[in-house]
Amino acid sequence: MTTPSNKKRVLSGMRSTGKLHLGNYVGALENWVRMQNQYDCFFFIADWHALTTDYADTSRVKENSVDVLLDWLAAGLDPERCVMFIQSHVPAHAELHLLLSMITPLGWLERVPTYKEQKENIKEKDLGTYGFLGYPVLQSADILIYKADVVPVGEDQVAHVELTREIARRFNGFYSGKRGEVFPEPQSLLTPTPKLPGTDGRKMSKSYGNAIMLSDPEPVVRQKLKTMVTDPARIRRTDPGNPDLCPVGDLHKIFSSGETMAKVNEGCRSAGIGCIECKGWAADALVQVLNPMQERRQKYADNPRLAWDILEAGSSRARDVAGATMNEVRDAMSISLDYEPPKGPTK
Ligand code: TRP
Ligand code: SF4
């Protein structure tokens, strides 16, 4: 990725929380893989953002970042078509975060919905920290430093992009660059997220222990499907069921062909098929998505250095782009690194 282009710039990130699951794929990653063909894409692993909540034990930060990257590569993000990098390897994000923190009113941050929610819900960690409050300022820096036009995110992140727009506006109001406004206002692109249940029927989530991982080998996927809950009304094989009330039915809707879906609908409602058979078809559909990922992953799993090198090359490219923006920012704020002699008559 060296050619500058007139394509719109896309930027998005994921916190480095380790191996990804199918929910991460259908909610976000699948969309990114498509976007890399149409946009100038920057995707990064937000390891500093992971530290805002996981600061006490940092032993897995690096391993988690590599796990995320392996899943990205497995899912089809291609280093030839997008820039993949790691946040902490582009220190300019921290500099911009600091400068933006100067102009961000506390009230804006205290009002962010995720802040209030997470502080109330996560009781096992002390989130009464400066860093956690500043989470969306760091995210704003991530976005603005690349002058992103489009930020694909899930619903929970839209408020953060909105705050980014407000911070950009405030910055542009205070300071202006040589060529006018420094920051364009980014648009969020809401990623449509189909309802993807985990094996227990609740939303798929790593913390619920109900997830199907992108790295699960075929036998594991099939085993997990076997234990998946079904329509509770279908107790005996002879009881008719309803795929609209069954988590396995939800999987079929996302992954199965129209033909299979028709068989499921007919067979379930008439008790013509058993749940075991139906789950087998769902597993077939999942394996069809996951197997090509396993193949792509293999190349890197055998040699994680290769993956790390991709991250390094991407980070280097990101540092260039971020560095150019920071020059403009410092200029606009009159704190440029160049020494300029004071103006006025020389004696
Ligand atoms: N906060 C995002 C999340 O939890 C991750 C993230 C960090 C991000 N920086 C970003 C997403 C910048 C988009 C743009 O999912
Ligand atoms: Fe669910 Fe399939 Fe069983 Fe119907 S047949 S209840 S859709 S698993």
3-state secondary structure of 159: helix
- Residue 30 resides in a domain: yes
Q: CB–CB of 153/190 below 8 Å?
A: yes
Task: Looking at the structure, tell me whether residues 180 and 74 fall in a common domain.
Answer: yes
- Residue 159 resides in a domain: yes
Task: Looking at the structure, tell me whether residues 133 and 70 fall in a common domain.
Answer: yes
Q: What is the CATH number of the domain that holds 267?
A: 1.10.240.10
Give me the pLDDT at residue 322, please. 98
Task: Looking at the structure, tell me whether residues 249 and 145 fall in a common domain.
Answer: no
230 lines ligand 2 (CB under 6 A): yes
Which ligand gives the minimal distance to the CA of 240? Answer: 2
Task: Looking at the structure, tell me whether residues 141 and 273 fall in a common domain.
Answer: no
- What stretches of the chain adopt beta strand conformation (E)? 9-15, 40-46, 82-86, 150-153, 187-190
- Residue 205 resides in a domain: no
- Residue 21 resides in a domain: yes
Q: Nearest C-alpha to atom 3 of ligand 2 is from which residue? A: 275
Distance in Å, CA 292 to ligand 1 centroid = 27
Give the count of domains, the chain: 2
Name which of 172, 174, 168, 212 is nearest 187 in CA terms.
168
Task: Looking at the structure, tell me whether residues 45 and 186 fall in a common domain.
Answer: yes
Tell me the backbone φ, ψ of residue 49, rounded to 5 degrees.
-60, -35
Q: 47: exposed, middle or buried (C-beta count within 10 Å: 0-12, 13-18, 19+)?
A: buried
The DSSP bridge pattern shows strands 40-46 and 82-86 to be parallel
Task: Looking at the structure, tell me whether residues 178 and 264 fall in a common domain.
Answer: no
Distance in Å, CA 198 to ligand 2 centroid = 15
Distance in Å, CA 154 to ligand 1 centroid = 9
Task: Looking at the structure, tell me whether residues 45 and 168 fall in a common domain.
Answer: yes
Distance in Å, CA 15 to ligand 1 centroid = 7
Indicate the pTM of the whole model: 0.93
231 lines ligand 2 (CB under 6 A): yes
Task: Looking at the structure, tell me whether residues 75 and 224 fall in a common domain.
Answer: no
Task: Looking at the structure, tell me whether residues 163 and 260 fall in a common domain.
Answer: no
Task: Looking at the structure, tell me whether residues 232 and 323 fall in a common domain.
Answer: no
Distance in Å, CA 218 to ligand 1 centroid = 31
Q: CB–CB of 171/100 below 8 Å?
A: yes
Distance in Å, CA 83 to ligand 2 centroid = 42
Task: Looking at the structure, tell me whether residues 286 and 319 fall in a common domain.
Answer: no
| Beta-carbon contacts of residue 345 (< 8 Å; ≥ 6 apart) | none
CA distance 212 to 283: 11
Q: What is the CATH number of the domain that holds 142?
A: 3.40.50.620
pLDDT < 50 regions, the chain: 1-2
DSSP state of 21: B
CA distance 33 to 79: 11
The DSSP bridge pattern shows strands 187-190 and 9-15 to be unpaired
CA 345 to chain centre: 55
93 lines ligand 1 (CB under 6 A): no
Which ligand gives the minimal distance to the CA of 87? Answer: 1
Task: Looking at the structure, tell me whether residues 191 and 223 fall in a common domain.
Answer: no
20 lines ligand 1 (CB under 6 A): no
The residue segments making up the domain with residue 26 are: 9-196+304-332
